[in-house]
Every structure is written in C-alpha cells, then in structure tokens.
Chains A and B, each alone.
Chain A
C-alpha cells in the first residue's frame, strides 16, 4: 500500500473537520452552499493536507501549488481548509459573508489569504488555472495548478474553450477536478442540461481522464498521483460525489445547493459529525 493506514485516517479526520468548519460558517438561518461544499470536501482534504505544496505562513510563497475554485460558490469548503491550516483565525468563520469579515460569498484573492483568484462567475476558473500553469511553465517552475469545476458548470462554453486550449498547450502541470455530484442549483444536471458522457467528452478533447469515487480517500490520492505522473498533457479527475455528503437530510437534494438549515437539521448535522468521528477512530 502506497499510503499508511495512519495517513488515510488522518486525512479522513481532516475531511470531517472540514465539514465541521463548514457547519460552523452556516448556523441555522444563514444561507450557504452546503451541498456543493460537502460533496468536494474529501478531495479538498487530500489536496490541502497531502498533495499540494502549501505554506500558510507565507501565502504568496512562490514555491506553492495553486488551487483555483472555479465553482466559486463552494468556497466555504476552501475556507474550511484554509482556516485549518492557519491562513486566518477561526473567528473569521462566524463572519463569513458579513461586511466586516474577510470571507466573501465567492472567492476574492484581495480579501482572503490563501485564495488565488477571483471566481464565482462560472466557467472562468479553468481558464485562469490554465493561464497560471502557462505562466509557471514559462518560468520553468515545477508548481502544479488545480482547478475545481462543477458538473453543472460543464454547461459553460468557456470550459470547453479552456479544455481545448490546455490540450493544445500540453499543460501537464494542470489538473482539473470535476465535482460530479449530479445536481445543480435547481435540479439534477440530467434534467437541466445534457452533459452525459463526460469521460468521452474530456478524453476526445485530448485530456488524460481519471474516473473515481470522490469520497474514497485512497482513490482520490491515487488519482492525484496519476495526474502528477502524466506528463503528456493535462489530466482531469472526474470525481463521482454526493451533494451534501455526510448530512443525510441534505444528501442528493438540490434544495441544499444554497439554503439555510433549520435548528433541527443543524443539530442533526452535528450528530453526523460526531458519528463520523467515532467511526474513524474505531
């Protein structure tokens, strides 16, 4: 086995803590993107606590890897990672989306240490990540760039402009990760827009496609390693996920794309966290 049992358990602990941090940001009555943040939480744990080079004491460290949250509405999960790494204090979590807080509703590099770009208008982050990858390559730097894109976001034409361009430029320092949770703001992706056969779509555009269960930590780590090792061009990880993962009342429901929880749901969510903690320690 490439990873020790202890490493996997530690990453699972991080993923639980990330989900707990997300809850902390959206107490009952406060609207937030619970669904799309929790679906990608395991991948984010692997990236920030295993795969990526990060330096919280110097957020602009030139040696760092970059992560662009193209599905910017799920920035809560990125804040949840950054706070855990110490990019900013925990007191910021309660101030998310407030006038005095540094945590904006969508990623803003000017306001929040550790955020690398401005995203939120969907379809643009993969292109920004490509630009970063090309710039780093011009300087012969080894750093990698990761872009998290949504499955609903696949409807944006610009995604496919970037997909074609990245292949053309053989951007092998770029990895895209599709949070394939099957749901978007108002319904299933299937019902909203035909994005079927994503494997065929991306691979026919010249990308190295890796399909995984986006909640299986070993599969996630393997996929990220495989993407790194593939040098002929860019790689995409199609991560099959569950929107609202780990919160049964929210799992697979479009409603929790951007909603507020009731007092009862919020209590239930914390019970889920406690159960997960017990499971992982057992």
Chain B
C-alpha cells in the first residue's frame, strides 16, 4: 500500500509488497539503491537482491540470464545509466530476445537537478521506444507508479519505466482500473487537446485552469504508456478540437511529441511539440528552476495552446 507521494519510494515499496508472494521477482542494483529505492527490496529479500556494483552493462546482461532462468529481474539505476550505459546490452541481450526484463530508469528527466547534464535523462524515451518489443512507461504520480509496477510484473516482456526523483502532486484516480497502454482524460475540454506525460501532466492541468479564464477549453490527456501508443484512443481524443499540443520533460526529438506526430500525420491538424530543445541539461538549485529554464511550466503549455489556435 502506497505510503507517500514519492514515485521512487512507491516503486520500491510496491516491489517489496509484490515480492512477498511472487518469489520470481529479483532486483539488480548498480550502487544507487538508496536513490532508486531498490534497497527496500534488498532489506526485505536479501537472497533475491543482486548488488552489481557500478557495472551497468554486466547488470543488464545478467538480468537477461536471470530471466532465461525464469526470474522476473528488475534492473535499477539512474535513467541515464540504466538505459544509456547499457544500451547495447538492453538491445541485444534483452530486447531482441524479448526477455522478461524490467528496467527502472530512476531520477529521469531533469529531476536530478543538482547533478547536471551528465545525470539528467532527456533522451531515454527516444532510445527505448526505438527498440522493437520494448514497452515504455512514464507515470505522472505515485498512484500511477504503484499500478504500473504491478502491471509490469504481470506482463511478459521487456519494459522500461521512467520515474521522477521528486515528489509530484497526486492527480490520478486511485480507484480507477489500470492497464498498460491506456491513456486517461484528466481534464475535459473541446478547443485543443494536450497529450502530456510525466510531470507535464500536472503542468498541463494547471494550463487548463489558466486558459479557462481566457475562454479556451483545454482537454488534457495523460499518455503514460509511450509505447505501444494507443493510436485509436489518440485519434478519438482529437475529435472536434482545433489543434494538438504534446508536452514532455524530454528532448523534442524521439519522445512523446515525435510519436504523436507520426501517429497523427494524416490528421491535418496543427500540432505544437513542447519539450526540451536540442540541448543537454544543467545544474540548478532546485527542480522548479529547471522546469522554468527549459520552458516546461504551465504557462509554456498555455502558450503552445494559444499558438495552435492562432494557426487556424
């Protein structure tokens, strides 16, 4: 049962809960267990916790081997290392073989604000969604993280989960059913639809409030499964609107925006992609300063909405 608003703590606690009955779950960690919260699992089930040291490539391929032995391995590190340092291992040992390996990219996006560009993961969705067989998940709050972690254990195949380091306000419905692949309408609206993921869901909900005062009705859709993208649902949420905005804490190349543009290329509707321009991250005093610096606040979403409306 979830005890906090922290995505990473919820992730760790959920796996402890699931690991009680499901003895196939094993965790691998590359010496960041106190940040990724995999250490909670290590305390509960030390025999099923593999401390792999700062050797992410070996960790990913060892996970492939554990999966071949029938286990459900979760590999943990900061998102930059979990899927970047071990990219070819994930591609060859895991994704080609369709193995049941779960990758948790922790401290994703800009959320590791102090550590700067080497540690900020703004290209992980791109790298993971280009891989055939890979499922790519991006929760926006702790409630969704708990449901996703459970769903990851239930589904057979490689999954990448990108989670934020910081607490995010709760916006999803704890009582609602969840399944991988679904997208959820967070705010009803009719003029423009924004497809948002991760922290940009909260920012987009705020944007809807700003725009309401201007007489603009914004529909906000939480796209927490980037891949496989539910194109039918995507198209149905575009019905009746005059334009589309995508919003993500990720590079404008290869992320949610790219996926939506590809899927809706025949829609003939104006689309604005909000994300990090072609640049790496930087250190800052806190997370909100970085969101402002990279233009990822609610007002930035609102500007994009006004822009698509003016294109009509």
In the complex, B296 has a CB within 8 A of chain A = no
Q: Identify the closest chain A residue to B61 (Cβ).
A: A127
In the complex, B65 has a CB within 8 A of chain A = yes
Query: Contact at B63–A131, with CB atoms within 8 Å?
Result: yes
Task: Tell me whether A127 and B66 are in contact in the complex, defined as CB-CB below 8 angstroms, given that A110-B98, A117-B93, A138-B48 are known contacts.
Answer: no
Q: Which residues of A contact B91 (CB under 8 A)?
A: 121
When A and B form their complex, what is the total count of cross-chain residue pairs whose Cβ atoms lie within 8 Å? 112
Q: Helix, strand, loop or mixed for chain B's interface?
A: helix
Query: Contact at A109–B58, with CB atoms within 8 Å?
Result: no
In the complex, B96 has a CB within 8 A of chain A = yes
User: How many residues belonging to A are interface residues under a CB distance threshold of 8 Å?
Assistant: 34
In the complex, B39 has a CB within 8 A of chain A = no
Query: Contact at A162–B58, with CB atoms within 8 Å?
Result: yes
In the complex, B88 has a CB within 8 A of chain A = yes
Q: Helix, strand, loop or mixed for chain A's interface?
A: helix
Q: Which of under 10, 10 to 19, 20 to 34, or 35 or more describes the interface residues of B?
A: 20 to 34
Task: Tell me whether A138 and B26 are in contact in the complex, defined as CB-CB below 8 angstroms, given that A108-B96, A127-B57 are known contacts.
Answer: yes
Bitwise, A102-122 to B at CB < 8 A (1) or not (0) is 000000111000001111110
In the complex, A161 has a CB within 8 A of chain B = yes
Bound: A68/B96 CA distance, A: 16
Bitwise, A139-165 to B at CB < 8 A (1) or not (0) is 100000000000000000110011011
Query: Contact at A128–B57, with CB atoms within 8 Å?
Result: no
Q: Identify the closest chain B residue to A124 (Cβ).
A: B61
Query: Contact at A132–B65, with CB atoms within 8 Å?
Result: yes
| Residue from A108, A127, A138, A157 in contact with B93 in the complex, judged by beta carbons closer than 8 Å | A127
Interface set, chain B 39-72, CB cutoff 8 A to A: 47-48, 50, 52-53, 55, 57-58, 60-71
Listed A/B pairs (14) with beta-carbon separation below 8 Å: A116-B68, A117-B93, A118-B93, A121-B88, A124-B57, A127-B57, A127-B93, A131-B68, A132-B65, A134-B65, A134-B66, A135-B70, A135-B71, A138-B26
Chain A interface residues (CB < 8 Å from chain B): 66, 68, 108-110, 116-121, 123-125, 127-136, 138-139, 157-158, 161-162, 164-165, 168-169
8 additional A-B pairs beyond A109-B97, A119-B92, A128-B93, beta carbons within 8 Å, are A117-B68, A117-B93, A128-B62, A130-B58, A134-B62, A135-B71, A162-B61, A165-B52
